[in-house]
């Protein structure tokens, strides 16, 4: 079933030990949509400037992504400049030009209104809440946020958290949001703020899902679930890995008839799979061209590197 994603479609200028790219297509909604598109239909709400060309749009439409909700504004698109060095686990932001994103007012096309799955990518929680309120009938709401909103927009963020089925954030954000240094206790506190389930992303170490009594309607998982990440010999560009994880994860969930613990665990693996592809090339290059066969082969690889018994020796 279709996912509606609201978030940034942007340009990134990135330097890593493997090279440098200028103004490549990026943004949370872009990475998310491309990763999710291998599993389910995706519709995007975003705003772009006049620098967003037909070629950029074709990157999305070639993957069957609905771009009707991408508004064109008379200015430049959101542009992020950053670099990575050494072990590349931390991005150094060199510039953030919001441009047309600064006055972004999400508008939901009528044709999007029947979307059953909503993903609120990392944007101002005021906008996240507005989109959510305009989609009252969605079956599931999943969202992301970041330290900036947690620190300085807590009241607005609190409203969004109450609406979430699943919140996806990283370790530091989870602990910051809860004001608690232990991740397990932080997860409990965060889920008491609203999210039924919390997925904590660990970068190169994978991700952990924490469940509450409200996570599943017909089942209960009392233990967390930990999905691995793939140790990669070449990480070209980590930008968008977390959004790609979210796309693979939520795309798979939305493709399944029912949310069960087994479906959730599998979705966590597909999240890792799409994150692992994303970092192999600059920008969205790899996410544009991966095949379903490669995805399934890598899924099996994730199983092989983490399961006691598997098809190999």
Q: Phi-psi region for residue 178, left (φ > 0), alpha (ψ -120 to 50) or beta?
A: alpha
Task: Decide whether 17 or 19 has the Cβ nearer to a copy of itself.
Answer: 17
Task: Decide whether 73 or 205 has the Cβ nearer to a copy of itself.
Answer: 205
Only segment of 4-12, 40-48, 158-166, 305-313 that touches a copy of itself (CB under 8 A): 305-313
Task: Decide whether 115 or 183 has the Cβ nearer to a copy of itself.
Answer: 183
φ, ψ of residue 24 in degrees (nearest 5): -90, 155
Does 75 interact with a copy of itself (rule: CB under 8 A)? no
- Integer-rounded Cα Rg, in Å, for the chain is 18
**One residue of 20, 58, 232, 297 binding a copy of itself per CB under 8 A:** 232
Which residue has tokens 């096309």? Answer: 109
**One residue of 36, 42, 88, 279 binding a copy of itself per CB under 8 A:** 88
**One residue of 225, 256, 280, 288 binding a copy of itself per CB under 8 A:** 225
36 and 61 in contact (C-beta within 8 Å)?
no
Which residue has tokens 């493709």? Answer: 255
- Beta strand spans in the chain (E): 3-6, 10-16, 19-26, 42-48, 66-72, 79-83, 92-97, 117-120, 140-144, 166-170, 197-201, 207-211, 225-227
Does 312 interact with a copy of itself (rule: CB under 8 A)? yes
4 and 45 in contact (C-beta within 8 Å)?
yes
Only segment of 53-61, 108-116, 203-211, 251-259 that touches a copy of itself (CB under 8 A): 203-211
Does 93 interact with a copy of itself (rule: CB under 8 A)? no
Task: Decide whether 44 or 295 has the Cβ nearer to a copy of itself.
Answer: 295
Does 244 interact with a copy of itself (rule: CB under 8 A)? no
Does 266 interact with a copy of itself (rule: CB under 8 A)? yes
Could you give the CA distance from residue 215 to residue 192 in angstroms, rounded to a whole number?
Answer: 12
Which residue has tokens 């209104």? Answer: 113
The minimum distance between CB 273 and a copy of itself, in angstroms, equals: 13
- Beta strand spans in 205-266 (E): 207-211, 225-227
The minimum distance between CB 116 and a copy of itself, in angstroms, equals: 24
List residues binding a copy of itself (CB under 8 A).
Answer: 17, 86-88, 175, 181-185, 187, 202, 204-206, 208, 210, 219-221, 223-228, 231-235, 260-262, 265-266, 269, 301, 303-309, 312-313
């Amino acid at each position: 079933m279709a996912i509606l994603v609201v978030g940034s479609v942007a340009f990134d200028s990135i330097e890593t030990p493997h090279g440098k790219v200028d103004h490549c297509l990026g943004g949370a909604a872009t990475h998310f949509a491309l990763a999710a598109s291998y599993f389910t239909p995706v519709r995007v709400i975003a705003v772009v400037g006049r620098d967003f060309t037909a070629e950029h749009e074709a990157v999305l439409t070639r993957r069957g992504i609905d771009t009707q909700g991408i508004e064109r504004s008379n200015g430049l698109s959101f542009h992020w400049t950053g670099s990575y060095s050494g072990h590349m686990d931390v991005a150094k932001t060199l510039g953030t030009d919001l441009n047309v994103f600064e006055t972004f007012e999400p508008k939901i096309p009528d044709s999007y209104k029947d979307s059953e799955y909503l993903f609120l990518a990392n944007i101002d929680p005021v906008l996240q809440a507005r989109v959510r309120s305009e989609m009252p009938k969605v079956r599931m709401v999943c969202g992301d946020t970041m330290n900036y909103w947690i620190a300085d927009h807590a009241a607005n963020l609190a409203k969004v958290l109450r609406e979430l089925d699943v919140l996806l954030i990283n370790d530091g954000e989870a602990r910051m949001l809860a004001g608690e240094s232990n991740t397990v206790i932080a997860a409990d506190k965060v889920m008491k703020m609203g999210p039924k389930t919390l997925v904590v992303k660990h970068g190169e170490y994978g991700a952990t899902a924490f469940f509450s009594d409200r996570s599943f309607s017909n089942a209960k998982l009392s233990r967390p679930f930990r999905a691995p990440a793939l140790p990669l010999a070449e990480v070209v560009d980590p930008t968008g890995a977390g959004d790609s994880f979210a796309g693979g994860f939520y795309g798979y969930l939305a493709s399944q008839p029912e949310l069960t613990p087994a479906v959730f665990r599998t979705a966590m693996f597909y999240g890792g799979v799409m994150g692992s592809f994303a970092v192999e090339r600059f920008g969205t290059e790899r996410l544009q061209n991966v095949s379903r066969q490669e995805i399934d082969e890598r899924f099996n690889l994730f199983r092989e590197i983490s399961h006691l018994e598997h098809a190999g020796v």
